[in-house]
Each structure stands twice: as C-alpha cells, then as structure tokens.
Structure 1
Amino acid sequence: MKSKITFFIFALVLMSINAQGPPLEAQGGEFIFNPQNKECLTNIQRQNIIGQLDENITQLRRNNELAFTASTRGNHPLFVWPVQKSSNSPYNEVWGISNYVDHNQNSPDQLTDYDCGTRTYDTTSGYNHRGLDVYSWPFGWYMMDNDEAEIIAAAPGQIISKSDGNFDRSCDFSTTTPWNAVYVQHSDGSVAWYGHLKSGSLTSKGVGDMVSEGEFLGVMGSSGVSTGPHLHFEVWQDATYTNLIDPYAGTCNSLNSDSWWQTQKPYLNPGINAVLTHSAQPVFNACPTTETTNRSDNFDTADNIFCALYLKDQAAGTSVNLKVIRPDNTILYDWDFPLNANYFSSWWYWPFSGVFDMNGAWKWQATYNGATVTHNFNVSGALSINENTLESTSIFPNPFNDIVYINSQAKIKKTNIVDMLGKTILNFVDTSTLGIKELNLDLLSKGVYFVILESDENEKKTIKLIKN
C-alpha cells in the first residue's frame, strides 16, 4: 500500500510540473499559396465567356425567361461569404484570402487594394487583378478531393451561364484550358463570376434556373489558369462587363462607394483554421499531388502524437494559448506560443511522446484572437497505478460484432463500457464464483469504446474495443 501511495503522490507532482509549456520548439512556419501571379483568364478566354454570356441572355430574353428587367431594377445585392465548409469537414474554417481587386491601373508592381494596401497583383502584360481570390487552407488538394470547401451563391439570382468538365488540377499558368465556372445575374442586373471550380462538382441547375442566397454552386478547384484550389470571385455592375465592382468599401476603392457585403469582413482575418492531431508530420507535396495529411484521432499511449495548429492571417506580436488536456480535465500542458511574423497562412506542430498517461478522450485546444477551438483525440494502452497484475487479461474478438469474451486468470467482478468522450454507457457486475466471462454489447453502435475491467482484488485494466 505504501508504494502505491508514494507513486500516486509522485504522479500528482509530475502533473503539476507538466501543466506548463512543453520542452519543445515549434516546427512548421509559413505556407505560401500561389507565389506566382498571372491573370486568372487569358484575354481570349475572357472574350469567349462574355460572348457566351451575351448569347445566353439574348436567348433567355427571346424566350421571355430572363429574370432581370430594367424596369424592375432594384438596389445592388448584399453578399454573404461565397465559401463554406462542407458538413463532413473536420476544420474550424477552410479558407484564406490571397488577393483583392487591384485599383492601381498602372503596372507592373504598382498595387493598391481597397484598403490602400498591396494585397493584390498585376502583370507585366498590363493586367490588374479583377476579383477576390479565396484559397482553401489547410490541405487544399485534400479538401478538393473530398469536397470539403464549397462555393455558394453570394446573393440570389439567375444562372446565365456555366462551364463544367474542364481539367481541374492546374499547377501552372501555361494552360489554355478553360475554367469551370458559374455565372449568376442578380435582380439589379449585376453579374457575379465564380471561377476555378472542381470538374463535375457544379450544381445540377442550368442556364435560366434561379438560385437562392447561400445555395450550393460547386466545389473549390484549380481549373483554368491556376496553381492551386481557390475561388476567383469577380463582380460586374451589369452585363456590359465594362464597370468592375469591388465588393469591399474602403478608402482606396475607386470603383464603387459602398460595400456590397451584408457584413464586410476585416482586411485581415486572424483566426484558427484547424486544430488537428497527426500520426506523423503532415507533408505538403508538390502541386498537384494531394497532401499526405497523416491525420489521426486514435493513438496508443506509446505513439508519437503530432499536435498541429493551422492559422490564417497570423499577426506578428500576437500569441496563441495552447493546452493539452487529459480525459479527467487536468492539464498536461498550458502555454502561450508567440507569433513573430505576419503570414497569410501558417502551420505549427509539436510532436509529443511518452507523456500520455491516461486512457480516454484527450483535448488539444487553441485560443487565438478571442476564439477557442478544441480537437478531441483518443489514447489507449496506458496502465493505471494498480493495473499491472492484469497484463495477461485479454478480450476477443476485437473488433467484434455483438459478444466479446474475457480471457483472464483473475476473477473479473465488474466492467464499465466507456465511450470516446469518457462517458460510461454500460456497466456489468457479477458476484458469482466464476466472475464475468463474456459481455453482450449488441446494443452499442458501431465505433470505438473502452472497457474497464476490475478484478475481485481491485486490479484494473483498460482495453480499447472496436465494434464493426
């Protein structure tokens, strides 16, 4: 008994010491999307698009199907954000901004965005960026493969053209392949272009159909002139395509005087895109190879667990509070990570091993710019103070369907079934001379559970169970 008490006191002291920053340097750094810049459409592609739009509007008007009429023209629309995460996305957010509209008509490298900054681009050919570029982050290719970053209608309107079926894994600017896109005209006659979409992902609606605000239009891709998955969102005042609109209100917006957003986002949007755990360092492969994410939420206590953080608009001079929290809500680590540079997107990770001393659902938590994001991950295989005498005890089959059997030389008098969140959902007690030999778990849903076995000598063992 004395040795167990001593071990328990030592464990409490160790937990107190560890509730600080980890003795690890952060790894990772800046992620740069689209380091090269060129017009999103060639002049020929742009003229072909305008020609098709004109033809479709003429046909819709001839058929008395064109929703817009000059006599009923209203005020310009107010947009919602045109990118959203899918229902299956594990991220807090899925986007970052690389470029705004360029208001300086000179070139090259003479840049002015709506806020009088230089978050835009031009080219030596005289092109000034005409839209908003929103890229997917983190793991843009993985998101594209799994339809995790969706493009939605920023305002209600009528589809006046769409293009689909074009190659969508472009990695350079030499392509002449058209992009996949949807074009929507609003009630005031303005037109929004949604470009670079994933092939085959576009809405099933066709030319002439109406879409509502927030309606799905497609998945972010890299079709046309592109070097990675992103949305090019371009807005024109009317179907003459002579007056460009910048949806953002700002001192240096020379195109329109007011905002076209329902709620205009700030120029910089510092925030957390994801808080994830990995079995190994994630790898950002060369374009267009999908990233090797190595994402995992289930670990053994002996595993090396990579706790990672993905930010957008990282601001120098700020910091992120980070915590690793045990299943019993005691804190293993709690520290502030200083950010020393301005990055449009960044990623940081810490590999931990040999510190996961408890079975169940752990938490990896980050707080930045007033927002807290928590990621749950599961650890099994940790031995408690008095578990060692049940080392030979096992359960089979595992994975199982309905019934599991307990193979133990000790008499098992009690078992608890715990879910991934650490909640006890079933318990069994047996006072017979034989003890518990089998468990009927047919009521459990498919998934991962933990069974805690207790012998008549108060010895305990935790085993991870997987139900098929």
Structure 2
Amino acid sequence: MKNISKILKTIGIIFLFLASISLYSQTNKKDFQVDGGNYPFPKNDAQHPCISIEEYEVLNKEVGENLRKLHLEDRVNRNSLTTSLNWPLQTASGFTQCSYHFIGAYVDQNTATTAIQDYDCGTNTYDGHHGTDIAIWPYSFYKMDNNQIEVVAAAAGTIIQKADGNFDRNCSSNTLTANSIIIQHADGTYALYWHMKKNSVTTKNVGQTVAAGEYLGIVGSSGSASGPHLHFEIWSGNTNTTYKDPYSGSCNLLNVNSWWASQKPHTDPAIMKVSVNTTDNIMPGCPTTETPNESDVYVIPFQGDGLPAGYAKFYVFLREIPANSLLTMRILNPNGTAFSSWTYTVPTLNKISYWGFSKLLPTTDGNYIFDATYNGQTCSKSFTITHSLGINDVTTADSFNIFPNPTSDEFSLSVYSLESKTYTYCLSNITGQIIETDKITINNHKWEKSFLISSLSKGIYFLTLNDSNSQIVKKIIKN
C-alpha cells in the first residue's frame, strides 16, 4: 500500500509539473504572439511620374508669365548667398511622433532612360525623377485627414505659382492638377512643393512673400500621386530643365555642394513610432483612411477585440532597419522598473515595416511607459491603467437597466423611477471615444431606447446617463 501511495504521489507531482509546463507554454505563446512585416507602400515610377512632361510645360509657361507680371526677374540678386534649405515638413502643433517620414525616391542622376541612380550611387529613385519624394507614415491618410504633417517653406521667397481646391486622394498616375506652390528665392532659385491636401494651401497669393519655416499646406495625395507625400523639387532657373539635387554625394552630377542647412543621411534606420492598441490596427491601403485603434487609457478589467482577456497590442513601426537587428521592448512601471520586457530580431530589411506584439497589461493603477530601443535609439509612449472612469459621482441605480447584456447586435435601455427632467446619454468605447450622444427629456419618470451596435467591434462599452448633479454608468459587453 505504501508503494502504491508513493506511486500515486509521484504521478500527481508529474501531472502538476506537466500541467504547469502546459500552462506556461500557453501563456508564453499568447505573450509572444507577433504579426506584421513589410508595408508595401505605393510608389510613383517612370510610367507614372509625380509631374508629367505635359504638366511641366504648363508650369514653365505659368511661371514665366507670373515673373513678367510681377517684374520679379529684375529683383533677383544673383550675387546673394546660395539659398540654404531647411527641412520642408514639420509636425502640427500638439502632434508628436519619434519620426514621421521616409524617402520614397530621390532625384534620378542617370539621364539614360534605361538606368537609375541617386546622389549616393544607390537606386532609391525612379527613371526621370526630378525631385525628392518625402512620404509620411504610419497611417498616411489618417495623418492627412487630421492635418498632422505640415508643409513649410524650406527658405524665404516669393510665391510664383499656387494651386488649390483639387482632389487629394489619388493613388496612381493621372492628369489631375495637384495642389501646389512654387517659391522663388532671393538668389533666383526655385522650390516646388507638390501633392498637398485640398483646401490646405496657404491663403497668401502669387506675388506675396513667405518666411523660412512658414506654413504652406498639409501633405496630401493630389495630382499624379501614389499616396500622401511631398514632392520637393529645386530649380536653379525658371524652368524644369534647370532642376538640381539638394543632396551632396559622390554620384550627384548636377551640383557639387549640398543645399541643405543640415543634410539628412541617405539611409536613416529608426524606430518611427510605438503605440499601445486596444486591438489590431487596420491599414487597408490607398486611398482608405487607416484605423489605428490606439488608446492612452486602459480600464481594468480590459478585453480587446480578438485578444486574450487582459492583453493589449504593442506596435513598433520601423524605417530601414537592417536584417537581423535586435529590438528591445519594455513596459515600465510608474517607478521606472520593468513590468515586462522582450526582444525581437528583425528578419529582413524593409523600407518601412511594423510589428505587433500581444502582451499582458499591468493591473495596478498608474502611468506606464512602453518603449522600444534599436542601436541606442529609444522611442516611447505613455499610457494609463485605471479601475475607474474618473467620474466624481457614479450611481449604479436599479432604475437604469440594459438588456440583453452581453449582446451581439443590439440592446435596450430602460429608465424608470428617475426624476422627470433633462438628461444626457452617452455611449462610448473603452478608450473614451464617443459613439453616440444626445439630450433626452424624461417624463413620468420613464424612458426607453434601443441601440443598434452590430457594426461595432467586440469589446467593452459604457452607457452614461447624467444630469448636472450625478451620473449613472453601465458597462455593456458586445460579443
């Protein structure tokens, strides 16, 4: 009997050990679930250029006519210092991101129609390209729709050409007019700013001056554009045949010196952005606006659509990071210690790429930081964990009833035994985004309403009913 007891005890220990291994493996699998990869951005090419030959001909004529009308050729100071260019983009006030751009194409230095070469002897260009394409990412159309990246004057000068009011959600070559501006500098050189957002171009008119760094417009996708980007082009004279390359490099055959006040590197590996997401982001491609699904606040208990309970999605967005590079990621507690950390080896070199990790959220209230580091460069994002909605006076009265709950496509709100007066109801998601809100008047202490939510993602929602003195909050679970 003693031997049998020992055997059973041993079997029990083995079972518990195997069960713990199985549980750890399942947790580990969830905790290191990763998706993403290369982002195949659309790009102009020789058959679909940013500015066609026909458009250049129209521009040359328009610029010449405007110069004569304004007598600007007589004012050019050929002895002035060569124009020094600042970066022609900036983030809008209140918007921050570790980095927001990548170079889709440089000036083509090879005049042969069967070969390409950029200023650094690379191939980041397309045949016959006369400018620098500066694309914005991630969520380029979301950035455009929300006016997050501004085009600014790289140098002071006079407006020679301006176009606005044109369609701005193009994805390929076309004959549509771009929203644009051309500025003549004091030394007689010109800068072209192309593809801007509709109705975003400066209200200043042809003949008026702008200062270096002054707002010109919003990055868009107007004209012959493959997606939101700025086509930035430099001329030494008043026609496109005088185009130059602002970058200095061993294969720049157009000009010796750099025109940039501070030239950025040809290849610039970086973590562009990190984010904490309630579920997978949605990037449908040009011209549809992306859905980031990001949040700064997570109410515990948290259930993200398509994620294990208590998990969120942690994203990193990369630019030109070499294959086999190591990324180190951390979730930092409010006191700066690590709540969790992990590493990931980038499998291949891509122009731009993104990687998403399903990770367990902290459950202690406080302000946390998610950061990612590559080659000593760190990009971070703060987020908050809370168990409350930040409501001063919350009433969970029986007089406020929701059914069915959980639900899949609709629910009804029934209010009774409440004081007859005006209230405001608000349906919101777990990030605080308002889905529906309105004022109602309750008569005879009763009120009912049905809500259709079939189009909403699975997860937790909140319905709030409030007046000037109190709030009633109910949680709704959508399956």
TM-score interval, smaller chain:
0.7 to 0.9
**In 2, Cα distance between equivalents of 1:405 and 1:350:** 35
Q: How does 1:103-252 map to 2 (within 5 A)?
A: 103-108=109-114, 110-122=115-127, 128-173=128-173, 175-252=174-251
In structure 2, what is the equivalent of residue 265 of structure 1? 264
Say whether 1:342 aligns with 2:349.
yes
Query: 1:33 is aligned with what amino acid?
Result: F
Query: 2:62 is aligned with what amino acid?
Result: Q
Task: Report the Cα offset of residue 282 of structure 1.
Answer: 0.7
Do the aligned partners of 2:31 and 2:359 also contact (CA within 8 Å) in 1?
A: no
**In 2, Cα distance between equivalents of 1:235 and 1:328:** 50
In structure 1, what is the equivalent of residue 59 of structure 2? 49
Between 233-242 and 156-165, the greater mean CA deviation after superposition: 233-242
In structure 2, what is the equivalent of residue 416 of structure 1? none
Match of 1:99 among 100, 105, 108: 105
**In 1, Cα distance between equivalents of 2:93 and 2:286:** 26
In structure 1, what is the equivalent of residue 420 of structure 2? none
2:248 aligned counterpart, secondary structure: coil
Per-residue CA deviations over 1:416-459 (Å, capped at 9, x if unaligned) read: xxxxxxxxxxxxxxxxxxxxxxxxxxxxxxx99xxxxxxxxxxx
**In 2, Cα distance between equivalents of 1:278 and 1:246:** 40
Task: Report the Cα offset of residue 336 of structure 1.
Answer: 3.0
Distance 1:369 1:60, change over 3 A: farther
Task: Report the Cα offset of residue 277 of structure 1.
Answer: 1.2
In structure 2, what is the equivalent of residue 451 of structure 1? none
Aligned residue pairs: how many? 366
Task: Report the Cα offset of residue 21 of structure 1.
Answer: 12
Query: 1:55 is aligned with what amino acid?
Result: E
1:242 aligned counterpart, secondary structure: helix
Scaled by the length of structure 2, the TM-score of the pair is: 0.72
**In 1, Cα distance between equivalents of 2:339 and 2:271:** 22
Task: Report the Cα offset of residue 25 of structure 1.
Answer: 3.9
In structure 2, what is the equivalent of residue 279 of structure 1? 278
In structure 1, what is the equivalent of residue 319 of structure 2? 312
**In 2, Cα distance between equivalents of 1:98 and 1:179:** 18
Match of 2:358 among 323, 327, 351: 351
Query: 2:120 is aligned with what amino acid?
Result: D
In structure 2, what is the equivalent of residue 321 of structure 1? 328
Runs of 4+ in 1 over 4 A off after TM superposition: 20-23, 465-468
Distance 1:370 1:215, change over 3 A: farther
In structure 1, what is the equivalent of residue 39 of structure 2? 31
Do the aligned partners of 1:83 and 1:150 also contact (CA within 8 Å) in 2?
A: yes
Q: Cα RMSD between the aligned structures?
A: 2.6
Query: 1:404 is aligned with what amino acid?
Result: D
In structure 1, what is the equivalent of residue 373 of structure 2? 367
1:227 aligned counterpart, secondary structure: coil
Task: Report the Cα offset of residue 335 of structure 1.
Answer: 2.9
Query: 2:283 is aligned with what amino acid?
Result: F
**In 1, Cα distance between equivalents of 2:199 and 2:43:** 27
Say whether 1:80 aligns with 2:86.
yes
In structure 1, what is the equivalent of residue 6 of structure 2? none
Task: Report the Cα offset of residue 35 of structure 1.
Answer: 4.2
Distance 1:77 1:68, change over 3 A: farther
Query: 1:47 is aligned with what amino acid?
Result: E
Task: Report the Cα offset of residue 368 of structure 1.
Answer: 2.4
**In 2, Cα distance between equivalents of 1:224 and 1:240:** 19
**In 2, Cα distance between equivalents of 1:93 and 1:85:** 10
In structure 1, what is the equivalent of residue 477 of structure 2? none
2:382 aligned counterpart, secondary structure: strand
Per-residue CA deviations over 1:317-344 (Å, capped at 9, x if unaligned) read: 4222211112333312223322232211
Do the aligned partners of 1:68 and 1:187 also contact (CA within 8 Å) in 2?
A: no
- Percent identity, aligned pairs only, is 34
Scaled by the length of structure 1, the TM-score of the pair is: 0.73
Do the aligned partners of 1:198 and 1:223 also contact (CA within 8 Å) in 2?
A: yes
Per-residue CA deviations over 1:53-72 (Å, capped at 9, x if unaligned) read: 111111000xxxx3863455
Do the aligned partners of 1:83 and 1:95 also contact (CA within 8 Å) in 2?
A: no
Do the aligned partners of 2:56 and 2:240 also contact (CA within 8 Å) in 1?
A: no
In structure 2, what is the equivalent of residue 299 of structure 1? 298
**In 1, Cα distance between equivalents of 2:41 and 2:184:** 30
Distance 1:339 1:273, change over 3 A: same
In structure 2, what is the equivalent of residue 404 of structure 1? 393
Distance 1:209 1:70, change over 3 A: closer
Between 328-337 and 95-104, the greater mean CA deviation after superposition: 328-337
Per-residue CA deviations over 1:66-89 (Å, capped at 9, x if unaligned) read: 386345531221111111111232
Q: Which runs of 5+ in 2 are unaligned?
A: 1-27, 304-310, 397-430, 433-463, 472-479
**In 1, Cα distance between equivalents of 2:348 and 2:75:** 50
**In 1, Cα distance between equivalents of 2:116 and 2:197:** 30
Q: Which runs of 5+ in 1 are unaligned?
A: 1-19, 123-127, 382-394, 408-446, 449-464
Between 314-323 and 189-198, the greater mean CA deviation after superposition: 314-323
